[in-house]
Chain A
Amino acid sequence: MKTLWNILVVDDEEAMCESMAAWLREDGYKVDTAFSGKQAVELARQKPYAICFMDLKMPGGMDGIETMMELRRINPDTAVIIITAYATVDTAIAAMKEGAQEYMVKPCNPEEISLLVERIIKVKRLQRENELLRKRLLRQYEFRDIITKNARMQDILALTKDIASLRSTVLIRGESGTGKELIARAIHFSGDRASRPFVSVSCAALAETLLESELFGYEKGAFTGAAAQTKGKFELANGGTLFLDEIGDISPKLQGDLLRVLQERRFYRVGGSEEVPVDVRVVAATHRDLREAVRQGQFREDLFYRLNVIEIHLPPLRERREDIPLLTEHLIERIGNEVEKDITGVTDGAMRLLMDYHWPGNVRELENAIERAIVTCRGSILTEDDFAFLAESVRARSQWVLPPNMTLQELERQAIVVTLERTQGNIKEAAAVLGIDRSTLYEKIKKYEIPR
């Protein structure tokens, strides 16, 4: 639609202005006219012009070049075409230096003008399209940072869309770093709750009593330090989605409380006597096998079935290796932009290494590895050397000898203790090294009672 594009014709000669405007209007553009630089500036303040035809010589006040400079200050995207009856090299150079797109001597060949306008509009249309696509892409990355050509993952994404607008509880299972929260966000943001809050709670990171007040809020005076009534995550997520990460780790008491909210859609704040109604969709996630936990009596069966209305099982990265090149490319672009380093890709050798590695920490580990490689690399392409730390870990694993009489749990405990020592107690760093997420690390620290 040409009518989207506004054109301004500026000339002190009224006949010149109006006849040119009429000619352009026949081509479907919206055209305004101004008979002085001052008038042109006033018009430009009111709406953006794609193109401005500007007479170089205008008596009194601002001349063409001054007006052009002012117009470009108001809207730098306006393409200014300077027109003049007397061509001199000096004025042409001056006009171009100040940012004129073209310089024409009147009278112009109609064909020349027609082609020129078409060319400028074509570029503008491409620019606009580019801007739009960028925005769309950005949105996609924000909500759907899920890149895959794996059939299982694609089925999961399709399911995600199908269930997005339902109210049913979803249970997402998958190892650390497989993108459980990403899927939860995708469900929320593609459904009709998208405009309402998405609230995320990591159940493993908090002690039982803290988690309780975190989820349900508390009344003033419920406990020491409860100075005012405070809303919990259920209330904050009202109308939207509550994402409960590491649900497998909550205490039996909280399991009961949670079951009650899911059934009744109402709850009591800690220390409260009044029921609070809520409309929240719960998406829960765990890396544990909850069925097994139910069998062992660690997890309530009725809660499990409440949560497990729709089950999504995310495959670990080693079971979707075909996604590694795609993910690598995407992560390099994203992280490269974030750290402002122009990295174009990885060498074949480095890709082989990435493909062969077992990725216990899944996509999160891949992300950390790429970030580390980008930060430390010196060239514009990531080589095997930049990923040497992965090779070391592979080698270390193959050369390592298991101490005798050691249980798996003791082994895990040792690994966490040593890693925490190495990172001087930095949880985030230790979690990255261990290839698990922070909440899992917290949970294990709690489980093994590791002093910090």
Chain B
Amino acid sequence: MSRLYVAAVGDVSAGNLGVARECAEHEFRLPVSYLPAIAEPPGAFDERRGQYRAVDFLLAVVKSSPGDGKILALTERDIFIPMLTFLFGQAQLGGVAALVSTARLRQEFYGLPADAAVFRRRLRTEVLHEGGHAFGLIHCPDRGCAMSLATSVQQLDLKQDAFCAGCRRALAERVREYRGNET
């Protein structure tokens, strides 16, 4: 059966995993269950940059796949790819694994007082964004759509924690195909 899994890479609060699961269930319309926490891959930490390699994390997620669904993984770590200074998340386009980093979704990261509502909204938006990529969606030109590209937290806050009508239709189509392929 085609399904969705939510998993933690390393330590992630149950509350955040719950937000991701609830959001995924609602938006992707597939049965969602938890996977056991995935261990942080050794050697993923880059001492010089003080960040974690996103590719290593994604590979660890792929390795832990039960083989019958896509995995939405969360990490508290600040992740990067060599070319870029940071990432909010990364996914295999149309693949198995999607990863969201919560590190830069918190107001505290920017020296501001914590704000649970803002954080929750950003987390939902990024879960939809990376999850959308795992279903093959590409960036949307609509700045308000969860699938639009955000390269800063300001841009992230311009997005809704929902898909635009066009991406919603495209996603429904992809989910239908996904279900059809697996059954």
Contacts and interface: CB of A to CB of B under 8 A. Distances in A.
A pairs with B: yes
A15 B43 CA distance: 14
Contact of B84 (A18, A25, A26, A108): A108
A83 B83 contact: yes
Contacts of B151: 109-111, 114
A107 B80 CA distance: 9
A110 B87 contact: yes
A106 interface: yes
Interface string B73-110: 00000001111111100111100000000000000000
B53 interface: yes
B82 A18 contact: no
B73 to A, nearest CB: 15
Contacts of B91: 26
A49 to B, nearest CB: 17
Nearest to A28: B138
A297 B100 CA distance: 94
A91 B80 CA distance: 26
Given A19-B54, A26-B93, A110 B82 contact: no
Contacts of B53: 15
A391 to B, nearest CB: 60
B168 interface: no
B85 A25 contact: no
A13 interface: yes
A8 to B, nearest CB: 14
B60 interface: no
A27 interface: yes
A21 to B, nearest CB: 10
Which of A22, A25, A108 neighbours the largest number of chain B CB atoms within 10 Å of its CB? A22
Interface residues of A, number: 23
A107 B149 contact: no
A194 interface: no
B90 A113 contact: no
A9 B53 CA distance: 19
Interface in B27-65: 49, 53-55
Interface string A1-38: 01000000000010110111011011110000000000
Given A26-B91, A110-B87, A114-B149, A20 B139 contact: no
Interface residues of B, number: 23
A18 B55 contact: yes
A113 B138 contact: no
Interface string A60-86: 000000000000000000000001000
B83 A16 contact: yes
A230 B171 CA distance: 68
Nearest to B56: A15
Nearest to B139: A27
B152 interface: yes
B159 interface: no
Which of B82, B83, B91 neighbours the largest number of chain A CB atoms within 10 Å of its CB? B83
Contacts of B87: 23, 110
A336 B97 CA distance: 62
Given A15-B55, A26-B91, A107-B49, A113 B139 contact: no
B141 to A, nearest CB: 10
Interface of A: 2, 13, 15-16, 18-20, 22-23, 25-28, 53, 83, 106-111, 113-114
Given A23-B81, A26-B133, 18 more contacts: A16-B82, A19-B90, A20-B81, A20-B84, A26-B91, A26-B93, A26-B139, A27-B138, A27-B149, A53-B83, A106-B82, A106-B83, A107-B82, A107-B83, A109-B84, A110-B86, A110-B87, A113-B83
Interface of B: 49, 53-55, 80-87, 90-93, 133, 138-139, 149, 151-152, 155
13 contacts: A2-B138, A15-B82, A19-B54, A22-B90, A23-B81, A23-B84, A27-B138, A28-B139, A108-B83, A109-B151, A110-B84, A110-B87, A113-B83
